[in-house]
Chain A
Amino acid sequence: MTNRILDELLLAFRRLKTRKLRVLLTVLGIAIGIAAVLGTVSLGEGIRTQAVETIRASSDLTLLEVTPREVNGTVYLITPSSVEYLQTLPQVSTVSPVLHDSYASRSQTYLPIIGAEPDQISPLLDLRLETGRIFYSGTQEAVLGADIGEYLRRYEGMQIGSPFTVMVREYDEQGRPRDREITITPVGIFSPRDDRFDAVIFLDTEMVRSQKPGQEGYDAVYLRVDDHLSVADVADEVRQLGFSVGGAFEQIESVNRFMDVVILVFALFAGVSLLVGGLMIANTMMISVYEQTREIGISMALGAAEGDVMRLVLFECLFLGILGGCAGIIGSLVFSTALNAVGRSLLLSRMGGEFSGLFGDSISIITPVMLIAGLVIAVVLSLVSGIYPAYRAARLDPVEAMKR
């Protein structure tokens, strides 16, 4: 920075000091705008975090299900080599390729089937045995999800260790359904997971494949991602490969999309107060330039270029912006703290204790990035508001200006 710029900064600062009340009011104007925007955004972020936490607590977030996708008539099949590739993705800890099918019991109970390798699927889904043992590869043994196991045992006389007849539905050349009976041997029941896998019967992959003539590749691959923060990245990568991907993370994505819109709309409303702050700066600076007309004329006669005059005005705006931004940040922190202290208990008393988990720590969240953004917005707003007054000052006729 040259001496001149530094000196002009000092001059601008000195000029502000001579008009403390006006500066205070203008700074307050910006600060309220910044605090309003940061306050609404922090409240929105708080609600977003609560919603995401709620989903996270009640679902298996790091489990992804990769399925084939049809793009322009081409189906991207999941082949053993794509399974191998998925296994090499950095954030993926384990994979389990599976086949899907559905059988029926003799009493026409719908039986969703997953065909998988026993040593892959149970650690991946964190399946624990309630009774019995896991099935062996290359057999017709089955392990049942908690709900379906309970149901078949209670109502259809299924017994662990005894063969159980199920029906595979097939269609003949005329499209008529035709059931074929096969026998599986239930050898265990898993503990409840509280999700859809509780209704599933797990069988060996080759066993399921033998019942699905013409099946190529796999129907799906389950992925276990290292931590919930990488889930979205992995999902993106998998989509890039041409597969569809699903999981509980989709709920979070839709919550995020929804909250993005809500926060944006709220912030726009709060942004109106920012606009008012900007107009206040423009007004303050117009008055300031008007009052200093004579000094500006003298400065020009003494050798100030248009750029010097513009800088003197804009540097004042810069300081107003920095002060307003900092005050706004402090204001938003106070607002957020107050909201978390008072607002939280107020909300809970209205909604009842069962919602206490919903607002775990805080309902308003302020991040450092938001604070920096607040400061940047304040400074940019001030500078933009100062452009016209600065231009007016720079275009003054020095002779006329000095007559004032």
Chain B
Amino acid sequence: MTSLLEVEDVSRVYPNGVKALDRVSIAMDRGEFVSVLGKSGSGKSTLLNILGGLDRPDTGRVALNGETIDFANRNELVHHRRKHVGFIFQQFNLIPSFTALENVEYPLIFHNVPRYQRHERASGLLDRIGLSHRVRHYPAELSGGEQQRVAIARALVAAPLIVLADEPTGNLDSATSSEIVSLMREINRDLGISFLVVTHDRDLAAQADRSCESVDGRMIL
């Protein structure tokens, strides 16, 4: 069986000369929860952006489900972002003018899903993560932990193959952080969705199936 994600010798140098990734190789199996530990500026975010199709590597190969991603093909990248990955950000990145429910529904608009189906899916997910009483609230009316839960629901709504989480607990206190980590593990276990979590939080990394460390653009398993 092919692995879910293969990253081979991926390098990325920014125009200002900063070497964000230096011949990084990672492989992930379906259903795995992997963490990448590293200080800020160690190229973790760049890796996630490349895996999510928001950035492109200078060299190397990325394959998802055995299919190599063609980073030169804009349509393919859009398709990849839409169908294969879900993003969770440190800053939550919810749309301020949307309610919790609308934020979770939002990606499905680009999937051409009709309104009532979107409602159904999004409400179901919000129910599951324990926010059914907050669906009509706007992000500004939610606590940090609640906002991150909404963002997790949003990452899951289009049934991705893999969730890419960039410092998901970076803006949360330790109690809330562990709630969020437990929630992600629970989803990983129950729904079989793979997680690649980038963090500098050793407690979070310790909860992963596997953890690797990133130092100056190199990944150390």
Q: Which residues of A contact B (CB under 8 A)?
A: 2-4, 7-8, 11, 14-15, 18, 294-295, 298-306, 308, 398-399, 402
Contacts and interface: CB of A to CB of B under 8 A. Distances in A.
B191 to A, nearest CB: 19
Contacts of B91: 402
A301 B115 contact: no
Contacts of B55: 399
Contact of B107 (A294, A295, A303): A303
Nearest to B154: A302
Interface of B: 49, 52, 54-55, 74-75, 78, 81-83, 87, 89, 91, 93, 95, 97, 106-107, 109-115, 154, 158
Given A3-B112, A298-B95, 6 more contacts: A3-B114, A18-B97, A303-B111, A305-B110, A399-B49, A402-B93
B163 to A, nearest CB: 13
Contacts of A299: 106, 110
Q: Which of A2, A301, A306, A398 has the most CB of B within 10 A?
A: A301
A227 to B, nearest CB: 56
A3 B75 CA distance: 20
Given A295-B95, A301-B87, A7 B109 contact: yes
Contacts of B109: 3-4, 7-8, 11
B81 A303 contact: yes
A298 B93 contact: yes
A351 to B, nearest CB: 59
A298 B95 CA distance: 8
A380 B164 CA distance: 42
Contacts of A302: 81-82, 87, 106-107, 110, 154
A181 B114 CA distance: 98
Nearest to A402: B93
A295 B81 CA distance: 16
Contact of B78 (A8, A11, A303): A303
A397 to B, nearest CB: 8
A-B CB proximity, top 8 nearest: A303-B82, A302-B107, A303-B110, A305-B78, A4-B112, A7-B109, A3-B114, A398-B54
Nearest to A305: B78
Contact of B110 (A18, A295, A304): A304
Contacts of B83: 303
A303 B110 CA distance: 6
B89 A308 contact: no
Nearest to A14: B97
Contacts of A2: 112
A4 B54 contact: no
A300 B95 CA distance: 12
A294 B75 CA distance: 21
Contacts of A398: 54
24 contacts: A3-B109, A3-B114, A3-B115, A4-B109, A4-B110, A14-B97, A295-B95, A298-B93, A298-B95, A299-B106, A300-B54, A301-B54, A301-B87, A302-B107, A302-B154, A303-B78, A303-B81, A303-B107, A303-B158, A304-B78, A306-B74, A306-B78, A398-B54, A402-B93
